[in-house]
A and B are shown apart, each in its own frame.
Chain A
Amino acid sequence: MSDTTAPPVIEVQNVTIAYGEKVVQRDISFEVRRGEVFVILGGSGCGKSSLLKTMIGLYRPAAGRILFDGEDIVTAEGDERLRLLRKFGVMYQSGALFGSMTVLENVCLPLDEFTDLESEEKTLVAAAKLNQVGLLPAAAQKPSALSGGMQKRAGIARAMALDPGILFLDEPSAGLDPITSAGLDETIRELSKGLGITFVVVTHELQSIYAIADRCIMLDARTKTALAQGTPADLRDHSKDPYVRQFFLRQAAAAAGATRPPA
């Protein structure tokens, strides 16, 4: 479980994201604690994915700092930046698997590049990673032969290849059916509780949020800033912002027939 006394793993401080003149999100601040599942949520086009890409150093924020264990990834360069990049793994929305390699080779790639393990052991480690996400039977296949859910699982396995302490997941349940999505949520939960991996997850699926989130932050496209943060139940029951309540209630209404009752 998350440790509230330990220093946060990630600190996002007053980050503003903008493309040229167009501001996407203004003055975002939050902390991610070690071992927790932190969810970034919000409606379509509110800048969830932009925030994630800023956190992992792909985009440069217009202002603010993003600290991993106290070190700023925005200003880091060269070896220092590489060292920070090694702290986390990323699963991209569509898996972003390399199409010319098999699933196993995809997972092996980071091990090939960053370790001096024997090839026999690299295969072992990669196979174990695939086993963890339940994808071992598909190891010898090309990504194009996999379904969307399997590609995401393979993406998670590749992100975990070097056993980073933090995993970023971009829309793990987008485009998946509820059952596959619930299975993926379960995998995330297992990895988080069993291995103490810290997760930062972007999603807009309420079921996923209830299933996995320890805490979340809600972004808004109109005000271009964070509306609320806290546990999902907090946001649903105690938020003063009508949009936040609406978001939770609307989705709860839509999910009323689903098997999983709101937490």
Chain B
Amino acid sequence: MSSSHSSFARVDFRQGPGAEGVLTLAGELDVSSAAEARREVVDKLASARVTALAVDGSGIAHGDMSGMAVLYELAQGRIVPGVKATIRGLRPEYQTLLAAFPPGEALAAVREEPPRRPFLQQVGAATASMFADLRAQLVFLGGVVQGFGAALRHPRAMRWREVAVVFEKAGVNALPIVSLISLLMGLVIAFEAAQPLEMFGAQIFIANMIGLVMIREFSPIFTAIIFAGRSGSAFAAEIGTMKVNEELNALETMGLDPLRFLVIQRVFAGTLLMPVLAAYSMLLGVFGGILVMLTMGFPFAQIWSQLVGALGVHDVLIGVSKSFVFGAIIAGLGCLRGMQTKEGPNAVGDSTTRAVVAGILMIIVVDAIYSVLTYVLHV
């Protein structure tokens, strides 16, 4: 019964009187010999001129579905075009197998591909779904704000344990990677700036550059991207899995709003967490830059006074305030995509991807808006 050893089928062809041929198949015609046997059959019949073909299968000692496929093709006239072979001498169990092959028209339906929609219809559907998504985001935003209001009025109803868990998972556990990336970014910027500034003998301005770049731009953005990758995706996956497992339905029928039960905590924690992480990243980035400058021979006091002179409180405020917005957006989008999870095995993966992509996109868009505003307002 097993097909693990390599088996062997014998193929014989005899040209009968007139234009009739007799093909004999014997031995083991199974999954491991069928491909070889079919090639042999095709070879032997290629030179034959037959108008009628009989296949003798009485010598088949072991056969299976793959083996019977060869007989089926012969009987259907797929191997010798126009000649439908008659099969004889087949043992009853193999006849059962052979009978399982569907008729030609049923087979054609199997391979039929779903028709493609016309281009214009696709564009229309994409546009409609974009607006629907925008609407869903607005509704969701409204729900979150409402939930926040409720949480402020009844702080005891808020599930604070959940908030603490998010703080730990998304914040404390992210410290190593945030530390490493921030420190290295500081080092890299300092080294890259050192060469061009040397031409002007202005290497002391590395301090200005590090301060401005890290604090106003890179720290908020990089921590936000890390947050989107580590936690926005996790929110989407957690809530998405709950949706697939019908846990969201369970909450709903218990009269618990999933938004207040699951989403508010995550958005709240994310919004508070992001500025803290960004501030930490600023410190480490600047520290990295200072390290580079120390190795170049600048005394610490000089670096420090240059840094303090270059930076205003408003720079730090801009950096930190961005982080608030980033945190809220990423956590919110993560939860929203999780709630939007559809059915099927890829659904959770899809919403995770969508959460991260949308999160990173929004980070850049919001950052651009910030840059334009601060330029116009001269801050």
Q: Which residues of A contact B34 (CB under 8 A)?
A: 115, 117, 121
In the complex formed, the residue of B with least CB distance to A114 is B31
A131–B31 touching, CB < 8 Å: no
For residue A177, CB closer than 8 A to chain B, the reply is no
Interface residues of B in 105-162 (CB under 8 A from A): 106-107, 109-114
A195 at the interface (CB under 8 A from B): yes
Q: Per-residue 0/1 for A185-210: is the Cβ within 8 Å of any B Cβ (1 yes, 0 no)?
A: 00000000011101000000000000
Check B100 for interface membership: any CB of A closer than 8 A.
yes
When distances are taken between beta carbons in the complex, the residues of chain B under 8 Å from A132 are: 100
Q: Mark the stretch among B61-69, B175-183, B328-336 that contacts chain A.
A: B61-69
Query: A-B pairs with the 6 shortest C-beta distances?
Result: A99-B345, A165-B1, A163-B64, A144-B344, A139-B110, A128-B100
Q: Which residues of B contact A164 (CB under 8 A)?
A: 1-3
Question: Which residue from chain A places its CB closest to the CB of B95 in the assembled complex?
Answer: A194
Interface residues of B (CB under 8 A from A): 1-4, 30-32, 34-35, 38, 64-66, 68-70, 72-73, 93, 96-97, 100-102, 106-107, 109-114, 343-346
A121 contacts B69, C-beta separation under 8 Å: yes
Q: Which residues of B contact A128 (CB under 8 A)?
A: 65, 68-69, 72, 97, 100-102
Chain A, range 111-149, C-beta contacts under 8 Å to B: 111, 114-118, 121, 123-125, 127-129, 131-132, 136-137, 139-140, 142-144
Known: A128-B102, A132-B100. A86 touches B4 (CB 8 A): yes
Given the complex of chains A and B, what is the CA–CA distance between A100 and B326 in angstroms?
34
Interchain residue pairs with CB less than 8 A apart (11): A87-B1, A87-B2, A99-B346, A117-B35, A121-B35, A121-B69, A124-B101, A131-B101, A131-B106, A164-B3, A165-B1
- Do A116 and B35 have beta carbons less than 8 Å apart? yes
Select which of A99, A162, A195, A198 is within 8 A of B344 by beta carbon.
A99
Minimum CB–CB distance for B324 against chain A, Å: 39
Is A34's CB under 8 angstroms from B69's CB? no
Within 8 A of B (CB), among A130-181: 131-132, 136-137, 139-140, 142-144, 160, 162-166
Binding site for B on A (CB under 8 A): 34, 69, 83, 86-87, 98-100, 104, 111, 114-118, 121, 123-125, 127-129, 131-132, 136-137, 139-140, 142-144, 160, 162-166, 194-196, 198
**B45 CB to closest chain A CB, in angstroms?**
16
Tell me the minimal C-beta distance from A148 to chain B in angstroms: 13
Of B35, B65, B109, B112, which is within 8 A of A129 by CB? Answer: B65
Contact status of A163 and B65, CB under 8 A, knowing A124-B72, A127-B110: yes
Which of chain B's residues have a CB closer than 8 A to the CB of A137?
A: 106, 109
Cα A162 to Cα B109 in complex, Å, equals: 23
Residues in B neighbouring A131, C-beta threshold 8 A:
100-102, 106
B2, B68, B114 — most chain A CB neighbours (10 Å): B2
A163 to B35, CA, bound (A): 15
Closest approach, in angstroms, between the C-beta of A90 and any C-beta of chain B?
15
Whether A136 touches B38, Cβ cut-off 8 Å, given contacts A123-B111, A129-B65, is no
Roughly how many angstroms separate A143 CA and B346 CA in the complex, as a whole number?
12
Say how far B66's CB is from chain A's closest CB, in angstroms.
5
Q: Is the CB of B344 within 8 A of A194?
A: no
How far, in whole Å, are A139 and B109 apart by their CA atoms in the complex?
A: 9
Tell me the minimal C-beta distance from B365 to chain A in angstroms.
32
Q: Report which residue of B30, B66, B96, B110 has the largest number of chain A beta carbons within 10 angstroms of its beta carbon.
A: B110
Give every chain A residue within 8 A of B346 (Cβ-Cβ).
99-100
Looking across the interface, which residue of chain B has its beta carbon closest to that of A35? Answer: B1
